[in-house]
Amino acid sequence: MELDELERDALRELANVGLSRAATQLSELLNDHIEMTVPLVQVVPYDQVTQALQLDPHAMVAAVWQSFSGQSEGTSILMFPSEDSKRLVRALVGPSMLGAGEDDLRGIEHEAMMEIGNIIITSGMAVIADMLGQEVRMSLPGYMEGNLPDIMEQRNRDNAGREMQAIIMFTHLKAAQREIEGRMVMLMSVDSVQVLFDRLHKLLRSL
Amino acid sequence: MKRWKSGLFNTPLRIVIAVGVVVFSVEFLFMALLHDVIMPLMSFTVSDRIWSIIDAVTLVVLVSPVLYFLVFVRMQRDFAELTRLFANLTDTLMVGVLLVDMDLRVHRWNQWLERKTGISSQQACGKLLTELFADLNSPRLLSAIELCIKHKSPQLISQTLNRYVLPIPLVSPMHDLKLMQQQVSVAPLTNSRGETLAAISINDVTESVAKSSALARLAMKMESQSNRDQLTGAYNRHFLWSWLAPQLKQSVRHSQSLSCLMLDIDYFKRINDTYGHDVGDAVLRGFAEILHEQMRDSDILVRYGGEEFVVLLTHADAAVALEIANRILDRVRKTAIAPLEVGDVRCSIGVSSWTPEEPCSAEELLKEADRRLYHAKHNGRDQVVIDRESSRTLQ
């Protein structure tokens, strides 16, 4: 099950359209000009996700996740390097954090990241649901921090025993004069990915 | 009528008795009719075995619709009860719950919201959110409702990034907060016809926001108190060192000069001894005030010791520093400080500068200013010393 270059480009373009919508919403929310692009989309089997993400396995990662159900089931995880996400949130909500203690600060960061991640994941999954031609129901978002293997292991517990594939969107976020490289991983069953590929084929043939 | 009905059906035992009575009387009548009227008329005889079969079949045919009906009535009542319970459930919650559709029309409005907004459920249901809150100004709420209904993805609206979601005034304003601080989530709710509503739940977090901002204010106050001299409001030595090191780094980075004035009130001990400590304190306060007037916003004033002050001038080379120092000297001479006459208070000033051409450490900068202050004192007081050569010759 492979995508050719044309199909990968098409998927990337769709992802770009979806995430630029998220950027518009974030700009409105954060009162700042925010750009989001997807320079690369990959589809890999589950056991290759960690390598494919191209992240330092020891570095701390801040992750927001939402699981989804319906005809397709799985989990979407958005990851940013912990330090970057902290700096981003501090730059964006700086004034309201003045005088906050270290614990408050962490709470504020988690909450802000969760909402930002919520918006990005929703837009990303809207693209996927659109491609699948299915209705996908999302859970409320959750937040966690840890190194990459920990996060992947924790999030894949629900899917244990099923053959999973991962769609990886490399995201490039520009906000508050900063640039942050993130990854959105959508873990879903091989069958769902197959449906997505078939629809992508059809879409490209109809053009 | 209603009492009779509920009386008949409200316990299982009564239902069984009622059904039994009805079924057996009907069956008795039917069998009597069959046995005594129809059979003789048709001159037809059957064995007892056949009779018992007819009997059993009649019983089943009679009993099943009645039982079916009873179970149906019962189930419907349970279902209605459950629906009512669920409807009331939202009223028992300590959070605001409302249902809206894509057009922002309200479909449900729980008691908590009635209480907090003063808008009754009757008034709210069927109206648009924008009609209920003319000052609704939360683009995030609107986009969250859209994302939620369109993409079936619940949305969190955090208090961190969104101060006011629904503008609900507080009955008793807390500190400087006039509107309820909220943490909101929007989740999709789809009915069997596939229509999706957005279920919005609202947590009142005003109290915790007020608490944490009060704590933050307290922390800031404590910090500013520990950085400042209580008497004059000038910064203390502790702050001087924490401020100067990063400031010098910045000067290095941007190649900007920075100057230091070290000031001392002349014959301060004599003022204290003659007029008492209260007047001494007033002089210190008045002196600090004059310094403040002559400084720019980016400069800082430090009470360095008893009657010794330091003014740090950012982006100022020796020429600018000299000008400011002379202005201070002039103001002090011409001002009547506290209960004293014009000219009673004089001061001496030593000036040193850090420049990209002649950098030095923070300690050296202060030591040099102190050395020049010493020479100003030695030279007859009431003057500014800025020149290294003259200070050297005086040594």
- pLDDT number for residue A30: 81
Average pLDDT over residues B356-373: 91
Cα pseudo-dihedral B171, B175, B176, B181, rounded to 10: -60
Q: How far is A119 from chain B (nearest CA, A)?
A: 7
Q: How far is A108 from chain B (nearest CA, A)?
A: 6
> How many domains does chain B divide into?
3
Contacts of A139 in chain B (CB under 8 A): 154
* Structure letter (DSSP) for residue B157: E
Looking at the structure, tell me whether residues B160 and B34 fall in a common domain.
Answer: no
In a domain, B222, yes or no: no
Most confident of A54-58, B193-197, B320-324, B386-390: B320-324
Give residue B187's pLDDT band: very low, low, confident or very high (50, 70, 90). very high
Q: Determine the residue of chain A that is closest to B155 in CA distance.
A: A118
Q: Pull the structure tokens for residue A4.
A: 């050719």
- pLDDT number for residue B392: 36
> How many whole angstroms separate alpha carbon B325 and alpha carbon B369?
12
Token pair 């969190």 in the structure block, residue: B156
For chain B, how are helix, strand and coil distributed in percent, rounded to 5?
A: 55, 20, 25
> How many whole angstroms separate alpha carbon A141 and alpha carbon A123?
13
A133 has a chain B CB within 8 A of its CB: no
pLDDT (tens digit per residue) in B330-352:
999 999 987 888 889 999 999 99
Q: What percent of chain B has pLDDT over 90?
A: 39
Looking at the structure, tell me whether residues B367 and B287 fall in a common domain.
Answer: yes
In a domain, A207, yes or no: no
Decide if A140 and B147 are in contact by the 8 Å CB cutoff: no
Token pair 């009548």 in the structure block, residue: B29
Q: Which residue from A114, A38, A205, A34 is spatially nearest to B155, judged by alpha carbons?
A: A114
Q: Pull the structure tokens for residue B193.
A: 């016809």
Q: What percent of chain B has pLDDT over 70?
A: 93
Exposed/middle/buried for residue B276 (C-beta within 10 Å: 0-12, 13-18, 19+) = exposed
- pLDDT number for residue B139: 87
Looking at the structure, tell me whether residues B171 and B130 fall in a common domain.
Answer: yes
Contacts of B157 in chain A (CB under 8 A): 115
- pLDDT number for residue A92: 74
Q: Which residue has the higher pLDDT, B389 or A57?
A: A57
In a domain, B223, yes or no: no
Q: Which residue from A22, A49, A41, A29 is spatially nearest to A173, judged by alpha carbons?
A: A22
Looking at the structure, tell me whether residues B167 and B255 fall in a common domain.
Answer: no
Does A190 score more than 60 pLDDT?
A: yes
Decide if B220 and A99 are in contact by the 8 Å CB cutoff: yes
Q: Which residue from A55, A77, A60 is spatially nearest to A68, judged by alpha carbons?
A: A77
Give residue B37's pLDDT band: very low, low, confident or very high (50, 70, 90). confident
> How many whole angstroms separate alpha carbon B241 and alpha carbon B79?
74
Domain region containing B265: 228-394
CB A111 within 8 A of CB A42: no
Looking at the structure, tell me whether residues B62 and B154 fall in a common domain.
Answer: no
Of B162, B185, B216, the CB nearest to A140: B185
Q: Which long-range contacts (CB under 8 A, 24 or more apart) does B274-282 make?
A: B275/B339, B275/B340, B279/B338, B279/B339, B279/B340, B281/B231, B282/B337, B282/B338, B282/B339
Average pLDDT over residues B283-309: 91
B186 has a chain A CB within 8 A of its CB: no
Looking at the structure, tell me whether residues B265 and B371 fall in a common domain.
Answer: yes
Does B395 score more than 50 pLDDT?
A: no
Looking at the structure, tell me whether residues B286 and B342 fall in a common domain.
Answer: yes
Choose the final residue of a domain: B186, B211, B236.
Answer: B211
Domain region containing A119: 5-202
* Structure letter (DSSP) for residue A177: T
The CATH number of residue B330's host domain is 3.30.70.270
Does A89 score more than 50 pLDDT?
A: yes
Q: Which residue from B268, B157, B163 is spatially nearest to B206, judged by alpha carbons?
A: B163
Looking at the structure, tell me whether residues B107 and B32 fall in a common domain.
Answer: no
CB B156 within 8 A of CB A114: yes
Average pLDDT over chain B, rounded to an integer: 85
Q: Which residue has the higher pLDDT, A156 or A4?
A: A4
Q: Which residue from B312, B280, B297, B286 is spatially nearest to B233, judged by alpha carbons?
A: B286
In a domain, B163, yes or no: yes
Give residue B394's pLDDT band: very low, low, confident or very high (50, 70, 90). very low
Looking at the structure, tell me whether residues B323 and B178 fall in a common domain.
Answer: no
CB A55 within 8 A of CB A183: yes
Exposed/middle/buried for residue B86 (C-beta within 10 Å: 0-12, 13-18, 19+) = exposed
Choose the final residue of a domain: B155, B182, B211.
Answer: B211
Choose the final residue of a domain: B39, B73, B92.
Answer: B92
Q: How far is A101 from chain B (nearest CA, A)?
A: 8
Q: How far is A22 from chain B (nearest CA, A)?
A: 10
> How many whole angstroms separate alpha carbon A55 and alpha carbon A129?
27
Q: What is the ipTM of this complex?
A: 0.78
Looking at the structure, tell me whether residues B252 and B196 fall in a common domain.
Answer: no
The yes-or-no answer on residue B293 being catalytic is: no
Average pLDDT over residues B73-92: 85
DSSP bridge partners of A42: A168
In a domain, B216, yes or no: no
> How many whole angstroms separate alpha carbon B113 and alpha carbon B221?
37
> How many whole angstroms separate alpha carbon B70 and alpha carbon B14?
12
The CATH number of residue B191's host domain is 3.30.450.20
pLDDT (tens digit per residue) in A153-166:
887 776 666 778 89
Looking at the structure, tell me whether residues B248 and B386 fall in a common domain.
Answer: yes
Those residues whose C-beta lies under 8 Å from the C-beta of residue B383, and which sit 6 or more positions away, are: B329, B348, B349, B376
The CATH number of residue A47's host domain is 3.40.1550.10
> How many domains does chain A divide into?
1
- pLDDT number for residue B217: 76
Does B5 score more than 60 pLDDT?
A: no
Average pLDDT over chain A, rounded to an integer: 85
Does B246 score more than 80 pLDDT?
A: yes
CB A201 within 8 A of CB A7: yes
B211 has a chain A CB within 8 A of its CB: no
Of the candidate ranges A184-188, B153-157, B191-195, B231-235, the one whose mean pLDDT is the lowest = B191-195
Looking at the structure, tell me whether residues B378 and B235 fall in a common domain.
Answer: yes
- pLDDT number for residue B393: 33
In a domain, B180, yes or no: yes
Average pLDDT over residues A138-167: 82
Average pLDDT over residues B67-87: 84
Contacts of B154 in chain A (CB under 8 A): 66, 118, 138-141
